[in-house]
Structure 1
Amino acid sequence: MLEEIIKTFDDLIVIDKPVKKELEITRYLIKYRERPVLFTNVNGWRVAGNVWSTRERIANFLGITREELLHFIAKAMENPSSYKTVEKAPFLKNVTSDFSLMELPVPKYYPKCGGQYFTSAMVIAKDESGFVNVSFHRIMVRDEKTGAIRLVPRHLYAMWKDKAEHGEELDVRIVVGNPIHLLLAGATSTAYGVSELEIASKMSEMAFGRPLEVVELRGIPVPVESEFVFEAKITPELVDEGPFVDITGTYDHVRKQPLVVFERIYHVDDPIFHALLPGGYEHFMLMGLPKEPQIYASVKKVVPKVHGVRLTEGGAMWLHAVVSITKQHDGDGKNAILAAFAGHPSLKHVVVVDEDINIYDDRDVEWAIATRFQADKDLVVIPNARGSSLDPSATKSLTAKWGIDATKPLERKDEFERARI
């Protein structure tokens, strides 16, 4: 349960006074950007934000080190395992179809947002073959029972499109308030047919020694640890969605997106609503961490010794990365740059460094650039490449990608060693 998790954090900030869900929540989450915040009274509900806003907090909860996170996620993605179906879940205690989305503590985060937004919501859907998909989707509240859901052309979009083309609705379960292994799994990119629930189950086995538990809720498996669960249908109808502040902290534009109808709400006793601040560090972690294993695997195909990958907070953990390698041949640094771009196509800028550089220390990385990089020899620029739609500087998602090879030349590497005691 989310409350039990939050109470283990020794840096928790508790806001006991009433807080408005419109804009006021945002001010606190920005003020305490790296610390978890629990609001005890947001329109009579409890709300938590910045829960997973640092690598260290995530790693500590999973019982691993910061450096092991990449390999932990990669292992779960490569070795998904079966989840366990049980009969009971705490959220089943409270259920009703008599509710209003407008009365829930769904925040409006920024002044120009199109409305209140579900930002931590994961959507669970099941296709005709029995494949269960779990993925993150922002949902803009429109009225008491409907919202506009952002679907990008991935798995849930394909499932919805198949139904919509036949004039049918897609039955889904929307879950809010889940532990980190479920959130990380929901943010992974897998082949169609590999369920994120099975990736979460593998993470649960590795971290806690037990599989993920789910209950069948009208034919769709739902994690028992969810705080809120909604039965809903994504309709063929398209409505305006946006503006919305995305991961770069800039406003995304208004689009036509599917209308989702909420039919029933379930929740645990005294639940905690998870408010995921758009463009905040928690947003960075949940989007970025599952991409680091992809970059790692891609670089490892061309350079045998890869020591670490970090998507940087300064690059919104989406557009900028640092990769640590041990060079075996001159040119390995440039090959690593190209492989990093292939591993995460949204990547715009990458710095490749030697194994003696701490990739989690921005000053150390900058020192490597200052002392081991020459722009006329070590800079790689790829113009007019397909980049990220989230980059406001890109033109129709076309961008100039650039990489910095800040590794030591092999024939002169002794000249680049820094003094140590």
Structure 2
Amino acid sequence: MNLEHEKVKIVDLRSALKVLKSIPGQLIETNEPVDPHAELSGVYRYVGAGGTVMRPTQIGPAMIFNKIKGLENARVVIGVLASRERVALMLNTRSEHLGFLLNEAVIHPIEPIIVSKNRAPCQEVVHYANEPDFDIRKLIPAPTNTEEDAGPYITMGMCYASDPETGKSDITIHRLCLQGKDEISMYLVPGARHIGVFQQKAEDDGKSLPISISIGVDPAVEIAACFEPPTTPIGYNELCAAGSIRSKAVELVQCLTINEKAIANAEYVIEGELIPSVRVREDKNTHTGKAMPEFPGYTGSACDEVPIIRVKAVTHRINPIMQTCIGPSEEHVNMAGIPTEASILQMVEKAMPGRLLNVYAHSAGGGKYMAILQFKKSQQSDEGRQRQAALLAFSAFSELKHVIIVDEDVNPFDSNDVLWALNTRYQGDMDTIFIPGVRCHPLDPSQTIEYNPLLLNKGISCKVIFDCTVPFHLKDRFKRAKFKDVDPSRFVPQMFKKEYGEYDTSK
């Protein structure tokens, strides 16, 4: 294929948007002034949020808002990753191959490199926090997703910090609320993120932890940043996986006010320090009891005590573009789910090569709670291994709650096909495996003692395997009706001639 968008090399957010703009239906813009307080997200809910967002919603194009009320010369882009096909396009692969691509990237890392300031667009404009008129709320056009949120949130900030003992660095995405002119609260899931470990080490020594927040970067960085242990154990810098995706090292630059690095071609960089032994209520400015909409589709409760980042400086490109997402949207599904798929593929392949054909971290689980495993049984001794694969999936990604296993003739990315398998290849009393009392994710509202008195405490769950595979000795009785293989593009070319790929009649 000799397509126009393939000539553009994606290295940052702007080149990614250039690619999307060249493809009909992938990016739209509006010059209509929009209020960042609830209105912006309210608009995109209808345009392209998808995911677990309250219906009506849909998977649609990314969107740029060129006029933000109350903020001069501010632009906001949302939904860049809110379509699996769009993610595949930007990572130069097929949507069903994304998990495999990410798996290879983790296995073959490319270390980031440090470049000089004159090669770092993120430092073209500098605002120091000690300046009299400094106010991060007037510099960063962070939206407030709903009217009851704790405040404006940075939802696509690449948080970068280093272990105070070893110097090993890590990048992750966290819930960041703008609390004051130079204060940002940071929600850390207990025991789940490396930066939380770094922060605790620094705090135990009574020291601040330098941290940079890069906003508006190459989509490869945003996807890679969502890997979790055990696939990327502590000491593994996920920027190495992002470099592998591009076959080119991610470029970092030394921050101006703290001893840390930031992504050199980011649109915005916030430089700051996590202050030891200082905590605030997440909703201290609104007192709503709510934080922001989270991936399960509900608004998360505001935490009573969250750490504070004291901002030292904000740097940005000339005419920067703020990037954001809606917590329960398809964007979160892709960022969390594709690394989850890679993690499961890697662990199961090591244990039983060639049997797990593909994995889909389903949209209904926000990319975290549910995985569909496509498993192939080639001989009688493979019977039962499909359930072992499901157990390995729970080990590969601890926040997983439900696993559905299907045969090789079921498309794991087609929910109707998966539900067909559930209805015709599943008996509840023999094909359901319950694993009670296992740690899951604290944002699941059903994981409370009030909901289930048998739970010991919040965040404990009953994990479930739904085995929708045909017993090997009965496979001949469960063959699907076979139709003749034809090339439909001969008859309806307008429907089957795809813009970036030939039609695959095997799907």
What TM-score comes out, normalization by structure 1 length?
0.95
Task: Return the letter of the residue paired with 2:181.
Answer: E
Matched residue of 2:66: which SS?
Answer: strand
Deviations 1:139-166 (Å, cap 9, x if unpaired)? 1111111111112333211211122223
- State the shift of 1:302 in Å: 4.8
Matched residue of 1:174: which SS?
Answer: strand
Task: Return the letter of the residue paired with 1:314.
Answer: A
Aligned partners of 1:271 and 1:141: how far apart in 2? Answer: 18
Task: Return the letter of the residue paired with 1:39.
Answer: F
- State the shift of 1:303 in Å: 4.0
Structure 1, 229-238 or 164-173: larger mean CA deviation = 164-173
The correspondence for 1:241, drawn from 282, 299, 302, is: 282
2:108: which partner in 1? 79
Aligned partners of 2:409 and 2:122: how far apart in 1? Answer: 49
Deviations 1:223-258 (Å, cap 9, x if unpaired)? 222100111111011111252221112122222111
The alignment covers a number of residue pairs equal to: 417
Residue 41 of structure 1 pairs with residue 67 of structure 2: yes
Matched residue of 1:64: which SS?
Answer: coil
1:331: which partner in 2? 384
| 8 Å CA contact retained: 1:337, 1:405 | no
1:197: which partner in 2? 239
The correspondence for 1:65, drawn from 91, 94, 100, is: 94
Aligned partners of 1:378 and 1:222: how far apart in 2? Answer: 49
Aligned partners of 1:231 and 1:53: how far apart in 2? Answer: 28
Deviations 1:10-55 (Å, cap 9, x if unpaired)? 3212121110110011112211122201000113300000111111
1:222: which partner in 2? 262
2:18: which partner in 1? 7
The correspondence for 1:134, drawn from 168, 171, 174, is: 171
Alignment of 1:255-270 (within 5 A): 255=303, 256-270=305-319
Alignment of 1:388-399 (within 5 A): 388-395=441-448, 396-399=458-461
Matched residue of 1:252: which SS?
Answer: strand
| 8 Å CA contact retained: 1:177, 1:226 | yes
2:137: which partner in 1? 102
Residue 275 of structure 1 pairs with residue 324 of structure 2: yes
2:470: which partner in 1? 408
Task: Return the letter of the residue paired with 1:230.
Answer: I
Aligned partners of 2:35 and 2:292: how far apart in 1? Answer: 19
Matched residue of 1:142: which SS?
Answer: strand
Deviations 1:189-232 (Å, cap 9, x if unpaired)? 22121112222222221xxxx32222222442322221001111
- State the shift of 1:275 in Å: 1.2
2:349: which partner in 1? 300
Residue 352 of structure 1 pairs with residue 393 of structure 2: no
Cα gap change, 1:83/1:385 in structure 2, threshold over 3 Å: closer, same or farther? closer
| 8 Å CA contact retained: 1:175, 1:226 | yes
The CA RMSD over aligned residues, in Å, is: 1.6
Task: Return the letter of the residue paired with 2:405.
Answer: V
Deviations 1:52-73 (Å, cap 9, x if unpaired)? 1111111111111112211111
Residue 371 of structure 1 pairs with residue 424 of structure 2: yes
Deviations 1:279-305 (Å, cap 9, x if unpaired)? 111112112211112222333355431
Aligned partners of 2:168 and 2:463: how far apart in 1? Answer: 36
- State the shift of 1:260 in Å: 0.9
Aligned partners of 2:210 and 2:17: how far apart in 1? Answer: 32
The correspondence for 1:213, drawn from 236, 244, 251, is: 251
- State the shift of 1:90 in Å: 1.1
| 8 Å CA contact retained: 1:86, 1:215 | yes
Aligned partners of 1:302 and 1:214: how far apart in 2? Answer: 36
Structure 1 unaligned segments of length 5 or more: list them. Answer: none
Deviations 1:386-418 (Å, cap 9, x if unpaired)? 222121111211222221111112111111001
Residue 50 of structure 1 pairs with residue 52 of structure 2: no
1:253: which partner in 2? 301
Structure 2 unaligned segments of length 5 or more: list them. Answer: 1-11, 49-58, 284-290, 449-457, 484-507
Cα gap change, 1:302/1:201 in structure 2, threshold over 3 Å: closer, same or farther? closer
Deviations 1:176-195 (Å, cap 9, x if unpaired)? 11111111121112212111
| 8 Å CA contact retained: 1:303, 1:325 | no
Aligned partners of 2:163 and 2:395: how far apart in 1? Answer: 30
Task: Return the letter of the residue paired with 1:7.
Answer: K
Structure 1, 391-400 or 327-336: larger mean CA deviation = 327-336
Residue 322 of structure 1 pairs with residue 372 of structure 2: yes
Aligned partners of 1:79 and 1:8: how far apart in 2? Answer: 26
2:337: which partner in 1? 288
- State the shift of 1:367 in Å: 1.0
Alignment of 1:146-185 (within 5 A): 146-152=183-189, 153=191, 154-185=193-224
Matched residue of 2:281: which SS?
Answer: strand
Aligned partners of 2:250 and 2:429: how far apart in 1? Answer: 52
Matched residue of 1:5: which SS?
Answer: helix
Task: Return the letter of the residue paired with 1:160.
Answer: Q
- State the shift of 1:340 in Å: 2.0
Task: Return the letter of the residue paired with 1:166.
Answer: D
Aligned partners of 2:225 and 2:265: how far apart in 1? Answer: 14
